[in-house]
Amino acid sequence: MCGIAGLVLSPDAPPPDPAVIEALTRAIAHRGPDGSGHTMVGRVVLVHNRLSIIDLVTGDQPLFAGSAALVANGEFYNYRELRRDMPEVAFSSNSDCEPPLHLWLRQGPAYASALRGMYAIAIHDRATRSVTLTRDPFGIKPLYYAAITGGLAFASEPQALLNAGLVSRAVRPQARDELFQIQFTTGAETIFPGIHRLLPGETLHCRDGQIVERTRLAALPDGPPETISEADALARLDRALEESVDLHQRSDVPYGMFLSGGIDSATLLTLMARLNDKPVLAFTAGFAHPGAADEREQAAVVARALGARHETIEVSEAMVWRHLPEIIACLDDPVADYAIIPTWFLARRAVQDVKVVLSGEGGDEIFGGYGRYRTAMRPWWLGGKVMRARGNFDRVRVLRQHPGAWRDGMLAAEAQATRPGRTRLMVAQEIDMADWLPNDLLIKIDRGLMAHAVEGRTPFLDKGIAAAAFLLPDALKVNKGMGKWILRRWLEQNCPAAQPFAPKQGFTVPIGQWIGNQGARLGKLVAAQPGVAEIAYPDKVEALFRRSNARRHGFAAWTLLFYALWHRAHIQGLAPEGDVFEALSRV
């Protein structure tokens, strides 16, 4: 995995400032510690920091062919097949990123339809004075851009644009309302005014510093549910799963996987054990807190059944307070999802042995796993309701002004997903694929792993898996009150030790209890933070932290703590030094 950045300026703009180029390179260095490079032609600059995974010797970037140059952050899992289909090309490297460059030279912006992988790409063509920016259809890899004086700037992370002084540090209130109500933000606009996301599957074609064309690839197949038997669906799913996991294991460096107690990661380990001659290295996190949901025991059962080498870590309250400022600082595009905590610690442990991990993100969205889907499937007179109808602060009265219009982004996603022939379940799945998946789960795994220079791969988010699973009839996704029915049936046949039909335990970080242990101390510190003081009543914040053991109050307290630390790092521009109490004491 890597980091990319660049400038796309008009011909009459001043030449690119070397200090800005250096700042962009430095800001994304953690994403690619194995090397860096850049190219500057006229008013266009491409910057690349490399984490070497495939072609360790000749795969440095930028890559050049004809009149074009490419930088990419990602993996193209079908690169061998793409090379085979271009026998006339004399490739200059063994890099998986070179075939997309040659595809672009032949097909222009339509080239992305042939790619299979996770990626954010920038291609500069000197002959046409154009720059093409592309993001994969699932939004696995991030890419951001901003209009600046004289043209555009882009980067793998918003903080690079901020640290280079290209965009001012400010908060867009509607995005902040979304963050507080649903823990992530939606759509193309980020929380930073002027910084935009490339949407999943989007390609921007730019010329002379201006966007001249936008196209977009869909992640999911269109159409109504198909008619297929369970036996045929299982056979097709087995082929698709094996192919995807096999492709996602293509690497010239050691790889492992994250193993929870759930069926998604158990499915991945089952396939990896089938495809590997040596024991698979699996990592699991648990919590040192009485009563906390701890998946280590069930994960160990699955690991033993599949002959995996199983490594576990225990995350304690003291560890969280010590590292929380730097954990939250890595989430420049803010996600108040406390699952970042175990993700960050797992990556810190994994990098001691591997540079690549496979993870189960996307399984719930592709196969219909969430309980909210079952609610959305019912008509309103049977208790059905739209997803995320209520916000996290609706009944927590601490904010000076109640969040308004925070569902506008969700309404847009709902309208886009509602198409003729689709069932309520399919609509709910696509709504989550539009925002929750790329703007929460995938940001969490990207930033949590890249903070330690570990590449995360998500085999469920693959065009082959989507083709095999999304158009299945609802009854093969949700059956007998259980989601992911077809995946459970597959796992029942292939790894019964995973107990795929056992009640779901859930994965919950005991952050509410930990905050409660320090409530009086934390409440005063959080209430005094500039980012919190301008939007919340200090006395009510302190009272909230004192009663944070209640679930609703605990999540609200966590969100305020998250926002206080995030605001310090990305709006005030302060380094995340010291533990949480030391950091918050420096007002």
Q: Which of 2, 206, 330, 495 is catalytic?
A: 2
Question: Does residue 2 have an active-site annotation?
Answer: yes
Structure token pair of residue 253 = 């460096």
Phi first, then psi, for residue 505 (nearest 5°) are -80, -35
CA atoms within 13 A on the CB side of 318: 2
Q: Are 55 and 96 in contact (CB under 8 A)?
A: yes
Encoded amino acid at 229, one letter: S
Burial of 243 (0-12, 13-18, 19+ CB in 10 A): middle
Structure token pair of residue 358 = 């496979």
**Which single residue is written with the structure tokens 């491409």?**
46
Q: Are 367 and 423 in contact (CB under 8 A)?
A: no
Nearby residues of 409 by Cβ (< 8 Å), 6 or more positions away: 178, 185, 186, 187, 435
Encoded amino acid at 479, one letter: N
Closest CA to 366 of 526, 498, 221: 221
Sign of the dihedral defined by the CA atoms of residues 470, 472, 474, 477, in that order: negative
Residue length of the chain: 587
**Which single residue is written with the structure tokens 């920091």?**
49
Closest CA to 230 of 587, 487, 421, 432: 487
Question: What DSSP assignment string belongs to 219-233?
Answer: SS--SSPPP--HHHH
Phi first, then psi, for residue 38 (nearest 5°) are -155, 160
**Which single residue is written with the structure tokens 């999802």?**
337
Residues 259 and 318: their CA atoms lie apart, in Å, by 24
How many beta carbons lie within 10 A of that of residue 278, not counting itself? Answer: 7
Structure token pair of residue 6 = 């660049």
Torsion of CA 537, 542, 545, 551, to 10 degrees: -40
Nearby residues of 145 by Cβ (< 8 Å), 6 or more positions away: 133, 152, 153, 154, 155, 195, 196, 198, 204
Query: Which DSSP letter does residue 439 get?
Result: I
Largest Cα span, the chain? 71
Instruction: For Cα atoms 475, 480, 486, give the angle at the middle one, nearest 5 degrees.
Output: 45
Residues 131 and 141: their CA atoms lie apart, in Å, by 19
Closest CA to 198 of 155, 247, 250: 155
Residues 235 and 46: their CA atoms lie apart, in Å, by 45
Return the active site residues. 2
